[in-house]
Amino acid sequence: MSKASAPSGDELLKVLSALGNPHRMRIIAALSEGRNYVSALAREIGMGRPLLHMHLQRLEAAGLVTGSLELSESGKAMKYFELSPFSYVLTPDAVAEAARTLTEDEKTTVKESAS
C-alpha cells in the first residue's frame, strides 16, 4: 500500500484484525523502541517463542512489522523483527471508502464473523 493512498477494505481489515489483540499491541509497543530478535522479544514480553512467532506472522501479514534472518558472530541464525512505518486515520468517511473496496470473500467473512 502506498502511504499516500487510503488502505483498501481488505488491507484495513487485516490491520485492524492484527491490532485487535492485546499481545500484538504489546509486541508493537516493544518494537517501537527498536528492532529486536525473537528470543529477546519473547523474554521482554513474557511469552513463549512459538506463540510469539504466531503473533509476529499476523503482524507481518498485515504489513506492520518486517522480519529478517541474520547470523550472529557465533554462526547462530537469529530472526530480527522491526516495525514497518505505518499511519492510519480512522474516520467514518475513511471506513466507508474502504468498505466500498472489500472483496466478496471479505464481505462474507465479515458478515459471518458478526453473527
Q: What are the structural domain ranges in the chain? A: 9-100
Fold type of domain 9-100: Arc Repressor Mutant, subunit A (1.10.10)
Question: What residue type is 13 in one-letter code?
Answer: L
CA distances from 47 to 67, 79, 91 (A): 18, 16, 34
Lowest mean pLDDT, pick from 66-70, 77-81, 88-92, 100-104: 100-104
The tens digit of pLDDT for each residue in 41-52 reads 999 999 999 999
**Which are the contacts of 104, defined by CB distance < 8 A and separation ≥ 6?**
none
Query: What does pTM read for this prediction?
Result: 0.80
The tens digit of pLDDT for each residue in 75-91 reads 889 999 999 999 999 99
How would you class 29 by CB atoms within 10 Å of its CB: exposed for 0-12, middle for 13-18, buried for 19 or more? exposed
